Amino acid sequence: MEIRELWKKHPLYKQGKVELVPTDWVWKYWGRDVSPEADLMDGTIVDMDTLWENILEEGLHQPLIMRVGLKNKKFRLEAGNHRIQLFHKHGVRMIPLTVQVREECGPHLDDVMTDATHNFDIGDDLKITQITDEYMRPGEVFKDLSR
């Protein structure tokens, strides 16, 4: 199975802020309480089977987004909670990911991209201590994704 890599046309990819990471790594951090339905690019709400069919037919347009909060030392999968479930289920080994770096991260913020309430402690895994850019490659941010 091959998924068209339309995310390579995304501005963040063109800026060098997206990289392929192991699906298994992202799988550990998705929001388990995310809604059962997903939305397509046009805003249509669909079930997971329809989302998978759409990805296979139209390709993957956007990278997944992991958000990191440097001040509160939290991180979470902000965008892609439905897609990661499908990629894991269907054996997609590597997926495009970008990291959005903020002071705060969590479901308490006004600009969340998901209805899931998950949040994870960063611990010792960060390579950065300050915000130098809003979006960064995962390998620049997380020690265990460094190449």
**What is the percentage of the chain residues whose pLDDT exceeds 70?**
99
Give residues with Cβ within 8 angstroms of 44, minimum separation 6: none
CB burial readout 24-61, b (16+ within 10 A) else e: ebbeeebbeebeeebeeeeeeeeeeeebbebbeeeebe
**Residue 147, pLDDT score:** 61
Mean pLDDT of 76-93: 97
- Between residues 108 and 7, which one has the greater pLDDT? 7
pTM reported for the whole predicted model: 0.94
Confidence of residue 111 (pLDDT cuts 50, 70, 90): confident
| pLDDT interval class at 51 (50, 70, 90) | very high
What's the mean pLDDT in 75-83?
96
pLDDT at 113: 87
What does the alpha-carbon distance between residue 6 and residue 54 come to, in Å, rounded to a whole number?
13
For residues 87-98, give the mean pLDDT: 97
pLDDT tens sequence across 35-46? 999 999 899 999
